[in-house]
Structure 1
Amino acid sequence: MDSNKKYWKGLEELNRTPEFVEKNKNEFAEPIPIEEVLSGSGLSAKTPRRDFLKALGFGVGAVTLAACQKVPVHKSIPYLIKPEEVTPGVANYYSSSYEGQAILVKTREGRPIKVEGNPNDLFSKGGLSAQAQASVLDLYDVNRLQNPKIKGVEAGWEETDAFVLKELAAVAASGKGIRLVTSTVHSPSTLAVIAEFIAKYPTTKHINYDAVSYTGIIQANQNSFGKAVLPHYNFDKADVIVSFGADFLGTWISGEEFTRQYVSNRNSKSLAAKKMSRHIQFETGMSLTGTNADARITTKPSEMGAALINLYNAIAGTTLPGSKATGSKKVDTAIMLAAKELVAAKGKALVVSGSNDVATQVLVNAINSLLGSYGTTIDLDNPSKQYAGNDATFVEFVNELNRGDVGAVLFLNVNPAYDYYKGAEFTAALKKARLSVSFADHADETALLSTVIAPNHHYLESWGDANAVEGYYTVVQPTINPVYSTRQAEHSLLVWMENPIKDYYTYVRKTWDSGLLAKGGLTGQKGWETLLQTGMVIAAPVAASTYTFSLDLAGVAQKILTQSKAVTADGDKFELSLYVSQAIGDGKRANNPWLQELPDPVSKVTWDNFAAMSISDMKKLKLEEGDVIKIDANGYSVELPVLAQPGQTQGTLSVALGYGRTNAGPVGNNVGKNAYPFFSLSNGTFQTAAVASFKSAGYKSPLAQTQTHHSYEGRSVIREATFVEYKKNPATGSGNEHGRKDYNAESLWDNHDRPVYDWVMAIDLNACTGCGACVVACNAENNIPVVGKEEVARRREMHWIRIDRYYAYNDHGDAEEAVSKEKEIEKLDNFDNVSVVHQPMLCQHCDHAPCETVCPVLATVHSSEGLNHMAYNRCVGTRYCANNCPFKVRRFNWFNYWNDARFDNYLQGEHTQLVLNPDVVTRFRGVMEKCSMCIQRIQAGKLKAKIEKRPLKDGEIKMACQQTCSANAIVFGNRNDPNSEVSKALASERTYYVLEELNVQPGIGYQTKIRNIVETEAQA
């Protein structure tokens, strides 16, 4: 380990820019005048204490009373006849499914308030993504369509059905085609409905269209092995992983599943067995997966093809026609090293590519075949069904519309008016169809163009099923009656085909009774009830076969090189790389404020997309962060602020998809810019790289980033070591190499007694990937408000847990010296070669908590169970505790966010109040708040054990952040139990405590980050 390694959160901290220094002189958020406070704009950090307390309620009673009068009085109504399944104050849990992943839905008094992963789920064993966690909020979105519409006018369902039936009959009589355009459908019941609809209207074709496409992989498997499938990858069986731009820990295919698999070879259990996988990442922009790699090589999009060809040559011991060096010595050297490692791990190796180019994926198949990956790390016999879109089929559909061959189109869970790369062409073509029907639950861009909008249920109001992977079936069941007058899309199709079964629940039962129940050894009503309780059926998997690759690769290599040439920038042009945002995804959920305010895992930007550029390029072009540039590529242009991104490949720009919606709703409208039109079509698939030119737009657009809102003033909080060092001494890097220091030997504080429970937490930095799912889970569990872009920019975000991202300078030189000598631009190349560590940071629940010492009203106190409590009704908002907290994890509530009309766009109206957890108080303006260690869950667990007259079991209580983590990076429990998982974790040689030299005795221990770095890299 390099003891002199320097970590920094962002360039402003590394360079100690004047703005950064000035902001961090002031402990709190940007001050604003007291007159603005009284007008409702906020509170000044520099207001004198006497006026400050007045502003918090000591002397402004009239203002408070006026605010209270605006809140309507709601009378409570007791149960006269209590529903059998509802007990006030007691949660019910229902099994369901989110995009094929088994989940549990928590309801209170009949309303869903929280989504959790099902512990038996095939994908993540109880983990859940940020998007899945946030999905419950969409249920209460007042911007959802509340009734069907015909030509923009609200109508009843009977009127809508009559109109559609008449139009479909007319189209059928004319002989024109009917097209049902959906995102990938893997529901057995939905597919059966579609098949019956096609039988009723024989000119119908079903078209799968995914905004983010995997057609290249599917078609490549058809060409290579005669199987048009998306493989089921097994990262847990791979000792060496080489990825070419595939963000498999983030947004590529099945991020939660791959995270669980990946971490299983890198976490505490694996390290204890002296085993750790090796991960090499070639990529253009810094991705979530790239931040976790052992070795990351910056690679232009135009270099990816040649790099893959050279990798094949090195493994096969041959030379494909047209082979050449990539043009980057660093890439070429890394390819040779990667080839040796892959060959050494034959049978336990895996190569993946994020490209959607068929030829590229064919070559990847050839490489994996040479490595013996099929049947081990790649399974083609139990394939994934998560994506089945066909790009060429959709393009032909648009051509059919243009020719006037299509009379009716039905859209389900797709929005091509927004995310098709030629949106204007699609919009014009759609007008030529006699009938267009959208099942959208919002009036999105495509729905507004449609003749009829037949709004679909939210999935928590629906019946259904899913088959996301061969042999894995999950059930979808409603957890609440429909909030609005919506109707399930499958129900509408049954009505419009005049099927005798018009109740979709009955149809789903029929599907399962006809064979799916038997796959799980179930039958009849009892089997159905068992299914609803367990939520899934897992059939025995087919034995995965090996596959031999036999295609001639000469033509394949030529196609790859031709594609590479098409995206090679010359002169002053840049190569543009498009990627999927971890929070917003493809843009369907852009109206969800929890996701908009979730900081990007790498950039920590919220409420925006941007153009990421290397630091050296920005210096050469004299650009500053936040400067807006106009980007032109593929006949399309947008203006975006530029972001200085360490690790960005020089000569490239990276832009996130999923932003720039115009009809998402008040939260998502006009947030960022739409990057889908930068796509191009090549060899039948959509391509995500292009040659771009840009120029300054002449103005700034500051980005709302969260990373450098607080500073540790240069103190070291990250501990890191290499796998080689760890095997020699497991304590290496943790500071425990010569035994653990006893900082408690001399102390100014008295120790607290914790006779029964001592609640503590352990966080494994080697398991945490930085995805941010825990942030959204905490939002949902603890009623944490959304504040919007302007407030985030003022450093007023309210998240109780944050994921700090630290860069480290990999060249073992002095980073500050490199950037201080601006004339030596070449030294800035060092910022291409940075490593990243993610660290979850929340209230540390210190035994010697400095916040408790300075609180004048005892609003923050220590419990007999080792927790730092907050009594909100005592807090007068002095913020002394935040000042004295070395971890900067306390949040000041500047507004009554949940009740203030100014935040309605973010909280989406009064219906959103229904998502609040009644076990957690909503905080009012003027108080401090922070992580409570989910005290409500602790109390509920203790109460359950007491009622059942038994001791509390280890692992019975899980924190919201812990429960959603697919990587199992967080462990919570009782330190007084020496056999508890958390006690064992904290006893590890890798465990250290952040800022332990301050002797505040944190209750959260971290385990050292270990990287599997080979000797040649360590010396680089």
Structure 2
Amino acid sequence: MESNKKYWKGLEELNKTPEFVEKNKHEFAEPIPIEDILEGDGLKSKTPRRDFLKALGFGVGAVSLAACQKVPVHKSIPYLIKPEEITPGLANFYVSSYEGQAILVKTREGRPIKIEGNPNDIFGKGGTSSAAQASVLDLYDSSRLKGPMQDGGESGWDAIDTYIKNRLATTKASGKGIRLVTSSINSPSTLGVIADFIAAYPTAKHVVYDAVSYTGIIQANQNSFGKAVLPHYNFDKADVIVSFGADFLGSWISHTEFSRQYASNRAAKALEEKKMSRHIQFETGMSLTGSNADVRMPIKPSEEGTAIISLYNALSGNTLGGGKKVSNAATDTAITLAAKELMAAKGRALVVSGSNDVATQILVNAINSLLGSYSTTIDLDNPSKQYNGNDAGIVELVNEMNRGEVDCVFFLNSNPIYDYYDAKAFKAALGKTKLLVSLSAYRDETAAVSNIIAPQSHYLETWGDANAAEGYYTIIQPTINPVYDTRPAEQSLLVWANAPVKDYYTYVRNTWEKTIMPIAGLSGQAGWEKLLQTGYVKAAAKPAGTYTFSKDLNAVVQTIAGHASQIAASGDGKLELQIFESPNLGDGKKANNPWLQELPDPVTKVTWDNFAAIAVKTAKQWGLEEGDWISITANGYTIDLPVLYQPGQAQGTISVSVGYGRTKAGKVGEGVGKNAFPFATYRNGTFQNSIVADVKKTGALTYVFAQTQTHHSYEGRNSIIKEGTLTQYVKNPESITGKGEGKENYDLWDEYQRPTYNWVMAIDLNACTGCGSCIVACTAENNVPVVGRDEVRNRREMHWIRIDRYYSFKDGEKSVTKEKEINKLDDLDHVQVTYQPMLCQHCDHAPCETVCPVLATTHSSEGLNMMTYNRCVGTRYCANNCPYKVRRFNWFNYWNDSRFENYIQNEYTELVLNPDVTTRFRGVMEKCSMCVQRIQAGKLKAKLEKRPLQDGEVKMACQQSCPTNAIVFGNLNDPNSEVAKALKSERTYYVLEELNVKPGIGYQAKIRNTTVTGA
């Protein structure tokens, strides 16, 4: 066991800064200002209580009746006319699809309230991303448009339909161009509609543009193998993975699928066989993927191409680029060792790159060909269809508009006025057209400059489909009638094209009955109904072929070298800047979702902001402290951002996340952070995300991040994290957890009797990637409120489950407290990261229970630590006595206090609340309940069916959303249960076990594959 290791959540904890020490003198957040105390329950509410309840009642009634397609009943008595398919108090589930992934939508009384993964989905196998979990909240967003608009004013569908058709007819007669600008589309029905639209208007073209582009990979495959496709990667078949800047666990291509694949080769089942894959990451900023790697090497953006050339040379024995070595000796050594390991795993090896440069991706193709990766870890014959954008197409559109060749432009799921690299030029070109139509559900940046906005419905309100992977088709069905006066974008296009079929439901059904349902042997009404129960059709996979690379690489290497020289920083005041996609907000389309804004960034734990991440040593050399504002100028564009110290960041670089800085997102997302998209450049036919930037300190007041990383301190206690190497684990598993060391425990309390159920949980630290999907799932399931940036700064976030991120030095404990020893800061370049989900441990000897003066928290006969909210008087003794710091106190009535109106969105947000879970009020303590409502529902169902409750029948919200199966829940009294087997693992330990509180959650220790093979 690596007992000399010191774990720390942030640099302030490592260095014991005065601010950190002072904050941790106080058990709780800062006290409420006296004026708030005097105001008491008379706090200004958004609406008076009577009006609030009236609005809520109307909302529930309206939404329920819309969902049930019944004649409106103008009374506030629910279900005077009860829909046949709805039973009050019981949930209905409907299959649907989110971004091509099959899902289940939970509805209550006609309201969609929760997204679950479809267990048969090929991507998540029941797991989902945080964005999928949060998507249900967007349905109730008051920032969505209530109906069509023309020239900035409200309009009606008949009026805009007539106007657009007349304009299109005129354009068609003139021979001028019509352009439909969309993000990547893989829906067979939508593509059919677009084809029909183009057939009706022959001068129309479809321009596919993605804010975060994968054109480089697609074009490289066209160049290398004659197949312009995005490959389907199989990380579960790779024994050795080498990644150059590809955040495949956080945001790259199909990260939910890749997370599941990745964990399957590194967690429980693999480790039972004493083996796991090996992962080496080369990257600039600390990404979610890099933080999970066995070996991580920080490199500058300008060094990435050189590193890939060096790897190719080491594998092939060639001397491309004159045999030039990477400037950093440690990185060069890592590349040499990586090459040996890759060759030793030939046929089960995988190299990926996050670059959008075609030449770089061609060289990666050559490497994978040498390794025999095609047909095993890379499949070009069953490709991904999640992205198919063409960067050159959108650039050419700007040229066409400037030449006056285009009269009409339609925007669908695209927002180039915000996310195009040269938005000013794009906006100026739009001024030379005659008709701009946005089909956005919001009055976003592009919609704001459009003549007409024809708002599309939310995906939970409409029919549709997706084909996100070759041969895999998913169906989208509405779970509620449109809440506002919106309609599917496809239906608008059908109307404007004067198509014979204008009803989109009919169009989708015709598409499936003619081309897709026969694949599964389905036909007719019976086949359609079966489809709506399963949610997908899967065709047999094509045989994956092998592909041999045979192109000359000299020109490719010259292009890579030229690219590197363009982005290499030299001279005073310059740093290499890299922009990247946030795992939480993505490209910014979801910026108005408060669940995602308040979800801590997996690595930095910052909420409600983007920032300039910089290495500590670089910052010290530049005289920058964390929170200092710097001005970043590149590409003729300047923004000011606060500095954030980031261990693992490559020296001489800064990283900035895109997806922030929205100006027309809605009241939640507007003005949050700064827009980094204009830092992108267009080079060699694709958009590039690295550039040289001029950086200078502004002198503005220090910024305070809403950062959660050190909010819950263990005050120096040990035995939080236990980890070891694969070699240690194979040799002596007990050395990792310290089992068998002869420790004795003495109990002061009687044991609880749990005759039937003993609910416990197991969490595998090798499977947890830190993605945060469980946090959003818990928020949705348990009505956890959003508190906003200022309250997070006050350490008052309300999440019932948090994911603690720990740093440690590879070689044990080191100190960086003496700033004069600046070389010591080099150690921060190579920190190791461990993620640990932390929630109420449901201790058998719970310290909280013994100090509650009103018995608000008690122990159940099934092993759960229970909360009775209406008993709680808010003494907070329980939180003080909890060693895990997992209890949350309601400082305010977050749901309807006016000071939080920018975070809860609107009164209709309450329509997403789970009626099975009590909403908590001011002055009450709350914490994880182990989804007791789900336990009770499962027990009741089994009782009604007169049978025992089966293992796996009850799943926690966090467990169900996890794509890596890191969380297992069940009855410990059943020795055959999955959780009982998991807790028997040689890696199992309990956090703060020495306190003898007997937690009900066991953790499986973290194992790193740091053994060098093939060296």
Q: TM-score range by the shorter chain?
A: over 0.9
Q: Secondary structure of 1:873's match?
A: helix
Aligned position for 1:372: 372
Aligned-residue offset at 1:400: 0.7
Q: Which runs of 5+ in 2 are unaligned?
A: 58-74
Partner of 1:733: 736
1:380-459 aligned within 5 A: 380-459=380-459
Q: Distance in 1 between matches of 2:638 and 2:340?
A: 43
Instruction: Select 1:889's aligned residue among 886, 889, 897.
Output: 886
Question: Is 1:709 paired with 2:707?
Answer: no
Range with bigger deviation, 66-75 or 196-205 = 66-75
Deviation, structure 1 residue 902: 2.1
1:944 is aligned to 2:941: yes
Q: Which residue of 2 aligns with 1:613?
A: 614
**Deviant stretches of 4+, over 3 Å:** 62-76, 1015-1018
| Structure 1 counterpart of 2:63 | none
Structure 1 CA distance, aligned partners of 2:46 and 2:458? Answer: 38
Cα distance between partner residues in 1 of 2:13 and 2:362: 45
For residues 311-710 of structure 1, the aligned pairs below 5 Å read 311-572=311-572, 573-699=574-700, 700-710=702-712
- Code of the residue aligned with 1:714 in structure 2: it is G
* Counterpart for residue 49 of structure 1: none
Instruction: Give the conservation status (yes or no) of the 8 Å contact 1:631–1:639.
Output: yes
Q: Deviation string for 1:902-949 (max 9, x for gaps)?
A: 222211111111100000011010000000000000000000000000
Read off the aligned partner of 1:470 and give its amino acid letter.
E
What is the alpha-carbon distance in structure 1 between the residues aligned to residue 46 and residue 425 of structure 2?
A: 56
Residues 15-65 of structure 1: CA distance to partner in whole angstroms, max 9, x if unpaired?
Answer: 1111111111100011233323233xxxxxxxxxxxxxxx5x7xx8x9999
User: CA separation in 2, counterparts of 1:763 and 1:564?
Assistant: 43
Map 1:864-943 onto structure 2 (within 5 A): 864-943=861-940
3-state SS in 2 of match to 1:681:
strand
Shift of residue 1017 of structure 1?
Answer: 14
Aligned residues between the structures: 993
Contact 1:875 1:928 in 2 (8 A): yes
CA distance in 1, matches of 2:703, 2:78: 53
Distance 2:47 2:902 in 1: 22
**Within the alignment, does 1:267 sit opposite 2:267 as a pair?**
yes
The question of 1:860 aligning with 2:857 is answered yes
> In the alignment, what sits opposite 2:62?
none
Alpha-carbon contact 1:322-1:558 (below 8 Å) kept:
no
Equivalent-residue separation in structure 2 for 1:295 and 1:498 (angstroms): 58
| Equivalent-residue separation in structure 1 for 2:764 and 2:495 (angstroms) | 53
Q: Which amino acid is 1:804 matched to? A: D
CA distance in 2, matches of 1:38, 1:701: 30
Q: Distance in 2 between matches of 1:878 and 1:204?
A: 67
Is the contact between residue 102 and residue 117 of structure 2 (CA under 8 Å) also seen in structure 1? yes
Structure 1 partner of 2:1007:
1010
Letter in 1 for 2:852: C
2:65 matched to which residue of 1? none
Distance 1:34 1:977 in 2: 53
How much has 1:735 moved relative to structure 2?
Answer: 1.7
Contact 2:969 2:979 in 1 (8 A): yes
Question: Which stretch shifts more, 845-854 or 902-911?
Answer: 902-911
8 Å CA contact 1:306–1:323 kept in 2: the answer is: no
Structure-2 change in CA distance of 1:927 and 1:539 (3 Å): same
- How many Å separate the matches in 2 of 1:69 and 1:881? 34
How much does 1:67 deviate? 6.4
> Is the partner of 2:736 in helix, strand or coil?
coil
> Matched residue of 1:767: which SS?
coil
C-alpha separation in 2, matches of 1:193 and 1:704: 45
Contact kept? 1:421, 1:677, Cα under 8 Å: yes
Q: What value does the CA root-mean-square deviation take over the aligned residues?
A: 1.5
Partner in structure 2 of residue 966 of structure 1:
963
Residue 817 of structure 2 corresponds to which residue in structure 1?
820
How far residue 592 of structure 1 moved from its aligned partner, in angstroms, is: 0.3
1:64 and 1:310 map into 2 onto residues whose CA distance is 63
**What SS class does the counterpart of residue 7 from structure 1 fall into?**
coil
8 Å CA contact 2:341–2:1012 kept in 1: the answer is no
- Which whole-Å deviations, capped at 9, do the CAs of 1:601-632 have from their partners, x for residues lacking one? 00000000000000111222221111110011
- Name the CA distance, whole Å, in 2 between partners of 1:242 and 1:363: 14
Shift of 1:702: 1.3
Give the partner amino acid of 2:387.
Y
Distance 1:623 1:564 in 2: 27
| Cα shift at 1:72 | 3.7
Q: Distance in 2 between matches of 1:591 and 1:149?
A: 21
Q: What one-letter code is carried by the residue in structure 1 that aligns with 2:134?
A: A
Structure 1 residues 65 and 149, CA, compared in 2 at 3 Å: closer, same or farther? closer
TM-score (norm 2): 0.96
> By how many angstroms is 1:748 displaced?
1.7
**CA displacement at 1:124 relative to structure 2:** 1.0
Q: Distance in 1 between the 2:824 and 2:782 partners?
A: 46
Asked whether the equivalents of residues 732 and 990 of structure 1 are also in contact (C-alpha less than 8 Å), the reply is no
1:131-159 deviation digits (Å, cap 9, x = unpaired) = 00000000000110011011111111000
Question: What is the alpha-carbon distance in structure 2 between the residues aligned to residue 66 and residue 687 of structure 1?
Answer: 48
8 Å CA contact 2:942–2:948 kept in 1: the answer is yes
Alpha-carbon distance, 1:285 to partner: 0.5
CA contact (8 A) 1:249 1:256 kept: yes
Structure 1 residue 732: deviation in Å? Answer: 2.6
- Residue 113 of structure 1 corresponds to 113
Partner secondary structure for residue 83 of structure 1: coil
Quote how far apart the aligned CAs of 1:460 are.
0.2
Q: Secondary structure at the match of 1:820?
A: coil
Deviations 1:545-575 (A, max 9, x none): 0001010001101100100111101123111
State the AA in 1 paired with 2:395.
V
Q: What is the aligned partner in structure 1 of residue 833 from structure 2?
A: 836
The one-letter code of the counterpart of 2:982 is A
Q: 8 Å contact 2:341–2:1014 — kept in the other structure? A: no
Q: State the Cα distance separating 1:322 from its structure 2 match.
A: 3.6
CA shift at 1:71, angstroms?
A: 3.9
Cα contact 2:112–2:479 (8 A) shared by 1: yes
Letter in 2 for 1:905: N
Q: CA deviation at 1:69?
A: 5.2
Letter in 1 for 2:248: F
Give yes or no for contact 1:280–1:293 (8 Å, CA) kept in 2. yes
Instruction: Give, as a single letter, the amino acid of the residue that structure 1 aligns with 2:98.
Output: Y
Q: Deviations over 1:855-896 (max 9, x none)?
A: 000000000000000000000000000000000000000111
d(CA) in 1 for partners of 2:534, 2:744: 48
Change (3 A) 1:737 1:565: farther
Unaligned runs of 5+ in 1: 40-54
CA contact 2:46–2:896 (8 Å) conserved in 1: no
CA distance in 2, matches of 1:446, 1:543: 43
Identity score, percent? 70
Could you tell me which amino acid in structure 2 is paired with residue 853 of structure 1? T
Give the Cα–Cα distance (whole angstroms) in 2 for the partners of residues 742 and 811 of structure 1: 31
Which amino acid is the alignment partner of residue 226 of structure 1? G
Q: Distance in 2 between matches of 1:148 and 1:937?
A: 41
Q: Distance in 1 between matches of 2:623 and 2:777?
A: 41
1:5-16 equivalences under 5 Å are 5-16=5-16
For residues 393 and 1015 of structure 1, the distance between their equivalents in structure 2, rounded to whole angstroms, comes to 45
**Structure 1 equivalent of residue 251 of structure 2:** 251
Match of residue 724, structure 2, among 703, 714, 721: 721
In structure 2, the residue matched to 1:42 is none
Amino acid paired to 1:846 = C
Matching residue of 1:797: 797
- The residue identity in structure 1 corresponding to 2:814 is A
Q: CA offset at residue 170 of structure 1? A: 1.0
Cα displacement string for residues 116-142 of structure 1 (whole angstroms, at most 9, x for unaligned residues): 110000101000000000000000001
Assess if the C-alpha contact under 8 Å between 1:101 and 1:474 holds in 2. Answer: yes
Supply the distance in 1 between the matched residues of 2:508 and 2:465 (Cα, whole angstroms): 8
